[in-house]
């Protein structure tokens, strides 16, 4: 049996807790807690990895609690579309239909948008988006102790 990827484990464990998804910076930052992992994926590699996965469909959608985009195991109710990869259809990564103009028609355009949106928090090691419904902007912080415990438990 093929070993699950770190991001698959995180999304599954998060869903088991009754939660929705995780931000791209959270997923990227979690790699710091993997054992024996000298190589770390960037945003582009993560997205292409998701597209080539066969475990479940991932949906990127806007989260009103954190005021930013999250990646989650797709729920049936998610209104979404599927960006093309090299002009070919794919069905492993969907995106919230309301953000089609932001994300574009292709995986390449989606990646460019995500890099523009999330590279700064990643570079600053502020991987965690705090619930912030009143400010209407995302509040990025370093991983909390609670975040670290969750990530470490996932990777045991």
pLDDT value of residue 134: 72
Residue range(s) defining the domain that contains residue 98:
6-154
| Residue 16, φ and ψ in degrees, nearest 5 | -60, -30
pLDDT value of residue 129: 93
Residue 123 lies in a domain: yes
Q: Is the dihedral of CA 40, 110, 72, 74 positive or negative?
A: negative
**pLDDT, tens digit, for every residue of 92-101?**
999 999 888 8
pLDDT value of residue 7: 96
pLDDT value of residue 133: 63
Q: Which stretches of the chain score pLDDT less than 50? A: none
Instruction: Read off the tokens for 84.
Output: 């093309």
What is the chain's percent helix, strand, coil content, to nearest 5? 40, 20, 40
Residue 1 lies in a domain: no
Residue 36 lies in a domain: yes
Residue 23 lies in a domain: yes
Residue 124 lies in a domain: yes
How many domains, in total, are found in the chain? 1
């Amino acid at each position: 049996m093929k070993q699950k990827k770190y991001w698959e484990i995180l999304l599954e464990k998060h869903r088991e807790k009754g939660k929705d998804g995780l931000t791209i910076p959270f997923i990227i930052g979690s790699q710091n807690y993997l054992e024996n992992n000298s190589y770390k994926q960037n945003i582009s590699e993560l997205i292409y990895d998701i597209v080539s996965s066969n475990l479940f469909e991932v949906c990127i959608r806007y989260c009103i609690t954190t005021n930013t985009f999250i990646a989650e195991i797709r729920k049936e109710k998610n209104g979404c579309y599927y960006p093309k990869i090299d002009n070919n259809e794919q069905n492993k990564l969907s995106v919230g239909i309301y953000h089609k103009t932001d994300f574009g028609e292709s995986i390449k355009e989606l990646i460019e948008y995500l890099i523009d949106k999330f590279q700064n928090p990643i570079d600053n090691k502020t991987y965690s988006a705090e619930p912030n419904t009143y400010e209407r902007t995302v509040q990025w912080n370093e991983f909390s102790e609670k975040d670290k415990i969750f990530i470490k438990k996932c990777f045991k």
